C-alpha cells in the first residue's frame, strides 16, 4: 500500500543559508528512514524514482520490487543533496549518469552501499544496492547447490584452471565467486582479486579496487599482481579479448583463475569465449568449470503446501526431465508445492532465494569434439556427456523437492 508522506513541518522564516541547512538535515532524516526500512525488510536494493508531482520509493526483496511509500516531489532535492554529500559527490548541476559508494553501520553491521544516479525526464532516479560488507560468504549448500553439483565443484577445486560463474544480471554471480574463494582461502595460499566495485571484504584475501586505479595503470597493476605469484586470481569480469586470453594462459600454469560472464547458459558461454578470440586449444587446456546460474525465490517453509500446477506447466516440466540422468527424478510421479502465504513471508508464499545451476566440465570426448571444430549444442552436449544436468532440470528437481515453485523455475529459465 502506498503511503503519502510529505515530511513537511511549520517553521519560522529562515535565511537562505538556514533553509539550505534545514533541507539537508530533512533530507538526511528521510534517507535514514528509507534505508532503515529497507534493511529491516531484507531488501537488497532501494529505488528512488521521481515522477509527476511525487517520488516513489520501492524496495527489492527476494528479487521482486515492491512499492513502499510515496513522497512529495518537494523532498527530492533535499534527499538527493543528502545522498550526494554521503557519497562525496558535488551537487548536481548538469545531470549525468554517476556511480559512487559509501559505508553504513546499522545495528552493529557494516554495509557497502553502492549508489547509481541516472537522469530521467522528471529528475534523477537513484538506486542504492545494499551489501553486508564483512559477513562471511554463505556455503555452497546455503546458496542452494544440489549434492550432485557439490561433488563436481569440490573435485575440480583441487586443481588449477579457469573457473567461470555466468548468468544474467542479478543472478548471484559475485556471491558464488566469493563463496568459492572462501572455500579455498587459507594461510597457505596467496589470493588476489581485481574488482570494481568490491562488494564484500574477505579476510586474508588481497582485494584490489579497479576504481582506485587510473586506466593507464590497470595493466601495470595486473602485471605486478601476477609477479607476486598468486595461487588464486579473481578478475571481476572477462570483458575484453585481452582479459580472456590472459585468464586462459594463467590458468594453464596450474593457477586457479575465477571470473564471471553475463551469458545465459553453458552453451552460450562456450560460444562467447570462442567469439572473443580464445583459441580452442587454450579453452580445452585451461577450462576448469563453467557454473551457469539463476536465482529463484524459495517457498516459505512455514506455509508450504502441495499443489497441482497448471496443465501447461506440468506438460513442460515432464518434457524437460525426460532426458534426466537415471535416478534423479521420476517424470511420471512429479509432485510440486507452493507457499500458501503467512505472516512469516508477508503473505507472499516465498522467503529467501536459492541458486539453480548447470555445471560444465570438459571430458575427453568433449575436448576432442571441440578441437575438431565441433559446435557445442544441447544435442551434442547430451550425447558426449550423458550425466550433464541442464539448468531447467536442476530447477524442476528442486521444485519437486518443495524448495521452490514450478512457476518460479519456468519464469527464470526462459
Question: Is 326 a residue whose pLDDT tops 80?
Answer: no
Distances (CA, A) of 4 to 18, 73, 101, 153, 341: 26, 11, 29, 50, 27
What's residue 4's pLDDT? 35
The domain locations on the chain are 4-132, 140-413
* pLDDT recorded at residue 214: 60
Beta bridge partners of 98: 117
**Pick from 136, 142, 172: which is nearest to 63 by CA?**
172
CATH code that applies to domain 4-132 = 3.30.450.90
Mean of pLDDT over the chain:
88
- Which position has the higher pLDDT, 152 or 243? 152
Q: Indicate the Cα dihedral angle 213, 217, 221, 224, nearest 10°.
A: -150
pLDDT-derived band of residue 2, with 50, 70 and 90 as boundaries? very low
140-413: CATH topology is Rossmann fold (3.40.50)
**Best-predicted range by mean pLDDT (67-71, 91-95, 277-281, 353-357):** 353-357
User: How would you label 192-224 residue by residue, b for 16+ Cβ within 10 Å and e otherwise?
Assistant: bbbbebbbbebeebeebebeebeeeeeeeebee
CA-CA-CA-CA torsion for 146, 152, 155, 156, nearest 10 degrees? -120
Same topology, domains 4-132 and 140-413? Answer is: no
Q: Give residue for cell 575484453.
A: 240
Tell me what the mean pLDDT of segment 294-314 comes to.
95
Residue 10 has pLDDT above 60, yes or no: no
Q: Is 170 left (phi over 0), alpha (psi -120 to 50) or beta?
A: left
Q: Which residues on neighbouring strands pair with residue 66, listed in sequence order? A: 59
For 46-101, write each residue's pLDDT tens digit.
999 998 889 999 999 999 999 988 988 888 888 998 999 999 988 776 778 999 99
Amino acid at each position: 500500500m502506498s503511503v503519502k508522506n510529505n515530511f513537511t513541518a511549520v517553521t519560522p522564516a529562515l535565511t537562505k543559508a538556514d533553509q539550505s541547512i534545514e533541507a539537508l538535515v530533512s533530507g538526511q532524516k528521510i534517507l535514514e528512514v528509507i534505508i532503515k526500512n529497507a534493511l529491516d525488510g531484507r531488501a537488497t536494493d532501494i529505488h528512488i524514482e521521481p515522477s509527476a508531482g511525487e517520488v516513489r520509493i520501492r524496495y527489492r526483496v527476494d528479487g521482486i520490487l515492491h512499492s513502499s511509500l510515496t513522497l512529495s516531489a518537494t523532498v527530492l532535492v533535499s534527499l538527493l543533496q543528502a545522498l550526494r554529500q554521503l557519497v562525496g559527490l558535488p551537487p548536481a548541476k548538469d545531470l549525468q549518469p554517476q556511480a559512487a559508494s559509501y559505508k553504513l553501520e546499522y545495528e552493529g553491521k557494516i554495509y557497502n552501499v553502492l549508489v547509481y544516479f541516472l537522469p530521467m525526464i522528471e529528475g534523477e532516479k537513484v538506486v542504492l544496492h545494499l551489501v553486508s560488507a564483512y559477513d562471511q560468504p554463505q556455503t555452497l549448500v546455503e546458496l542452494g547447490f544440489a549434492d550432485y553439483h557439490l561433488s563436481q565443484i569440490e573435485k575440480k577445486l583441487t586443481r588449477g584452471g579457469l573457473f567461470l560463474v555466468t548468468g544474467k544480471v542479478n543472478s548471484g554471480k559475485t556471491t558464488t565467486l566469493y563463496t568459492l574463494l572462501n572455500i579455498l582461502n587459507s594461510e597457505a595460499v596467496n589470493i588476489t582479486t581485481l574488482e570494481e566495485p568490491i562488494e564484500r571484504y574477505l579476510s586474508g584475501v588481497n582485494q584490489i579496487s579497479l576504481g582506485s586505479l587510473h586506466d593507464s595503470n590497470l595493466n601495470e597493476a595486473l602485471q605486478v599482481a601476477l609477479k607476486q605469484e598468486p595461487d588464486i586470481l579473481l578478475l571481476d569480469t572477462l570483458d575484453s579479448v585481452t582479459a580472456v586470453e590472459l585468464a586462459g594462459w594463467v590458468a594453464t600454469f596450474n593457477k586457479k583463475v575465477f571470473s564471471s560472464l553475463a551469458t545465459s547458459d553453458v552453451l552460450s558461454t562456450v560460444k562467447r569465449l570462442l567469439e572473443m578470440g580464445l583459441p580452442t586449444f587454450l579453452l580445452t587446456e585451461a577450462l576448469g568449470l563453467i557454473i551457469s546460474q539463476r536465482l529463484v525465490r524459495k517457498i516459505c517453509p512455514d506455509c508450504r503446501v502441495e499443489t497441482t500446477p497448471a496443465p501447461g506447466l506440468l506438460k513442460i516440466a515432464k518434457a524437460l526431465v525426460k532426458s534426466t540422468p537415471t535416478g534423479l527424478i521420476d517424470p511420471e510421479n512429479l509432485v510440486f508445492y507452493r507457499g500458501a502465504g503467512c505472516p512469516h513471508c508477508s503473505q507472499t508464499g516465498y522467503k529467501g532465494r536459492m541458486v539453480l545451476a548447470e555445471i560444465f566440465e570438459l571430458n575427453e570426448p568433449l575436448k576432442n569434439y571441440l578441437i575438431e571444430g565441433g559446435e557445442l549444442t544441447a544435442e551434442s552436449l547430451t550425447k558426449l556427456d550423458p550425466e550433464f544436468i541442464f539448468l531447467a532440470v536442476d530447477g524442476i528437481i528442486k521444485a519437486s523437492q518443495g524448495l521452490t515453485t514450478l512457476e518460479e523455475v519456468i519464469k527464470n529459465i526462459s
